[in-house]
């Protein structure tokens, strides 16, 4: 079977970095057409820099990295240095990237790629706020029907919020963009906190990264050591939740995840619950199902896959 063509839209972020590495380590299943950076965990100049650092760490200076939107559609940018550190990739010391940033704007790249590939052949994998994706859909409505599927990390329902009591960070930063994406009619698979909070880097799992004996293994161990503080303090969890790699693992081994096809509607009005993903899990409304909302995963299977693939780099 030929590899699935994807665009990774991202705001690195240590967990984004692990997701990018997992994708680049899996060429049999995944062809990364390009990586588009968006403002999120840290401002755009850092997310585009960090995306290039990760590609170089994987030895993939050939991957095209694009800079996209530097602010949400209408709201002021909210960042997450309190989780990811000032650079967004705090933890290990990292060299500045040497590979070039593409000239073309990320939104134009997304539009051109969807127009120039056969209909239904390109999957979008947003790992941050949905600003680039929504802007592409607004600027070129014709490309919406060309998207094979959107597999995104974002939202929360039973797990409630991580940036406000009601909202998960990616959705909260740009709720208007998320609303456009969830109402677009594109097939959507959602990896919410409900599942990513079950993908925890326990001591044994981080040890598996460390004992890989590779630069990638060392980096991933140091990144997860750094960004687990927030979740340990807030939730008392036993390690960092690997949010974004769940998106890529789904592309490789979808059977690791279980969920329900339900209606997911984004709160865009109320300041109290802004960015909440209201998932009709018990189907109590007549709102049509528009997303496969994941609720659980085989965590051991996920980490076995992740460790096996990262060891290849």
Binding site for ligand RIB (CB under 6 A): 11, 13, 15-16, 40-41, 127-128, 153, 162, 168-170, 243-244
Site string for Ca ion, 257-296 (x = CB under 5 A): ----------------------------------------
Indicate which of ligand RIB, Ca ion, none lies near residue 245 (CB less than 5 to 8 Å, by partner kind).
none
The yes or no reply on residue 127 touching Ca ion (CB under 5 A) is yes
C-alpha to C-alpha distances, 118 to 4, 184, 200, 251, nearest whole angstrom: 12, 19, 37, 19
Helix (H) or strand (E) holding 5: strand 4-10
Contact positions with Ca ion (CB under 5 A) in 1-20: 11, 13, 16
CB 290 within 8 A of CB 264: yes
**Closer residue to Ca ion, CB minimum distance, 130 or 313:** 130
Distance of closest approach, residue 172 Cβ to ligand RIB, in angstroms: 8
Task: Name which of ligand RIB, Ca ion, none residue 55 binds, using a CB cut-off of 5 to 8 Å depending on partner kind.
Answer: none
Q: How far is the CB of 98 from Ca ion (least distance, A)?
A: 24
In the bound state with ligand RIB, the residue whose beta carbon lies nearer, of 10 and 123, is 10
Q: Which does 267 bind (CB under 5 to 8 A by kind): Ca ion, ligand RIB, none?
A: none
222 binds, among ligand RIB, Ca ion, none (CB under 5 to 8 A by kind): none
Alpha helices in the chain (DSSP H): 14-24, 44-57, 81-84, 106-116, 131-139, 169-173, 175-182, 193-196, 203-210, 215-235, 245-252, 299-310
Minimum Å gap between C-beta 153 and ligand RIB is 5
Whichever of 143 and 257 has its CB closer to ligand RIB, that residue is: 257
Q: Does residue 204 sit in helix, strand or coil?
A: helix
- If phi > 0 it is left, if psi is from -120 to 50 it is alpha, else beta; for residue 178 that is alpha
162 binds, among ligand RIB, Ca ion, none (CB under 5 to 8 A by kind): ligand RIB
Q: Which is nearer to ligand RIB, 16 or 194 (CB)?
A: 16
Name which of 143 and 178 has its Cβ closer to ligand RIB.
178
What is the number of H-type helices and E-type strands within the chain? 12, 12
* Contacts (CB under 5 A) with Ca ion, residues 221-250: 244
The answer to whether residue 128 forms part of the interface with Ca ion (CB under 5 A) is: yes
- 62 contacts: CB under 8 Å, gap ≥ 6: none
Q: Of 41 and 263, which CB lies nearer to ligand RIB in the complex structure?
A: 41
Residues 6+ apart with CB under 8 A from 107: 36, 68, 69, 132, 135, 136, 139
- Contact call for residue 32 and Ca ion (CB under 5 A): no
| The pairing of beta strand 277-279 with beta strand 264-266 | antiparallel
CA torsion sign for 256, 262, 263, 268 is: negative
Query: Which residues make up the interface to Ca ion (CB under 5 A)?
Result: 11, 13, 16, 127-128, 244
């Amino acid at each position: 079977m030929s590899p699935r063509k994807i665009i990774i839209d991202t705001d690195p972020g240590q967990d984004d970095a692990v997701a990018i590495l997992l994708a680049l380590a899996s060429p049999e299943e995944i062809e990364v057409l390009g990586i588009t950076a968006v403002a999120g965990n840290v401002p755009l100049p850092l997310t585009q820099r960090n995306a290039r650092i990760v590609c170089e760490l994987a030895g993939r200076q050939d991957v095209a990295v694009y800079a996209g939107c530097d602010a949400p559609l209408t709201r002021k940018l909210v960042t997450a240095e309190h989780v990811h550190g000032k650079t967004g990739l705090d933890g290990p010391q990292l060299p500045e990237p040497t590979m070039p940033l593409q000239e073309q704007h990320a939104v134009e790249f997304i539009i051109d790629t969807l127009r120039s590939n056969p209909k239904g052949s390109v999957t979008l994998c947003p790992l941050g706020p949905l600003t680039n994706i929504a802007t592409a859909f607004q600027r070129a409505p014709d490309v919406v029907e060309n998207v094979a599927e959107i597999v995104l990390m974002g939202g929360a329902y039973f797990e409630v919020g991580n940036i406000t009591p009601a909202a998960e960070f990616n959705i909260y930063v740009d709720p208007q963009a998320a609303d456009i994406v969830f109402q677009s009619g594109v097939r959507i698979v959602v990896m919410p906190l409900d599942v990513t909070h079950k993908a925890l880097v326990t001591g044994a799992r981080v040890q598996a990264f460390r004992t890989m004996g590779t630069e990638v293994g060392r980096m991933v161990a140091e990144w997860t050591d750094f960004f687990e503080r927030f979740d340990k303090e807030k939730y008392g969890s036993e390690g960092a939740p690997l949010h974004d790699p769940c998106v890529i693992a789904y592309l490789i081994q979808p059977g690791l995840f279980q969920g329900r096809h339900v209606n997911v509607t984004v709160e865009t009005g109320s300041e109290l619950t802004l960015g909440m993903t209201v998932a009709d899990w018990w189907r109590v409304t007549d709102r049509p199902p528009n997303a496969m909302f994941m609720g659980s995963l085989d965590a051991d299977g996920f980490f076995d896959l992740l460790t096996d693939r990262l060891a290849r780099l």
